[in-house]
Amino acid sequence: MEISTLATYHCLAFVWFFFVAYSIAHIRTEERPSEVFLYAGQWKYLTVLNLVLQAVFYGVSFLADVLRLIKKLRCAKCVISSRDLLFSVLAFPVSTFVCISFWTLYSYNRELVYPKSLDRVIPFWLNHAMHTAVLPLALLEILALPHRYPAKRKGLILLGFVAFLYISWVLWIYSVTGEWVYPLFALFSPPGLAAFFAGSLAVIVSFYNFGEFLNRMIWGQSKF
């Protein structure tokens, strides 16, 4: 794509994710199901955190495009490095994980991840904006331009660190409220929950590897 086309695309994607994140963050308090929006509100859900992540990523991408358009190449190089690191380590694998894990569990038993009580609060379009559209947009980003991936060890360490932070957040919320972020977690014993978290980490690592594979197949090998 030409830089001007990329800038338009990244700007529209940024506005879209900002709008979706704003929409879910401003659900009126009186409409929120009490069994869902407890301590930490929406900010305990990976889906909502992913919306913020995507908005940040596309904002950085748009900034990189603008800097290239106005020939600020030295600044653009630094921003592009941040853009590629964000996409490779977080934006692509997390979006893929959110979409596939959500719809897999939803198909099995929606009450484990998205109780029916949410249907009267979250519109149909917003549900799909949060859980469905994120994957096609991530794939489109891979097709739109090449991204430099970090060395595998560096990338996986960063991804694992972020996963550790989110798991710690989930456990902290449970320690404070006595309620799990997702009802699914209540089905597991402590060893079972540890195995579930480990399995989830393995899945998201596989999505990281898949993104790197697609990028390499389409654009060739390019690393930091």
pTM: 0.91
Q: How many CB atoms lie within 10 A of CB 176?
A: 11
Domains of the chain: which residue ranges? Answer: 3-219
> For residue 179, which of 46, 38, 47, 45 has the smallest C-alpha distance?
38
Distance, in Å, from the CA atom of 213 to the CA atom of 224, rounded to the nearest integer, reads 16
pLDDT 10s per residue in the chain (224 long)? 788 899 999 999 999 999 999 998 877 655 555 555 567 778 889 999 999 999 999 999 999 999 988 877 778 888 999 999 999 999 999 999 999 999 999 999 998 888 888 888 888 999 999 999 999 999 999 999 999 999 999 999 999 999 999 999 999 999 988 888 888 999 999 999 999 999 999 999 999 999 999 999 998 865 44
The residue count for the chain:
224
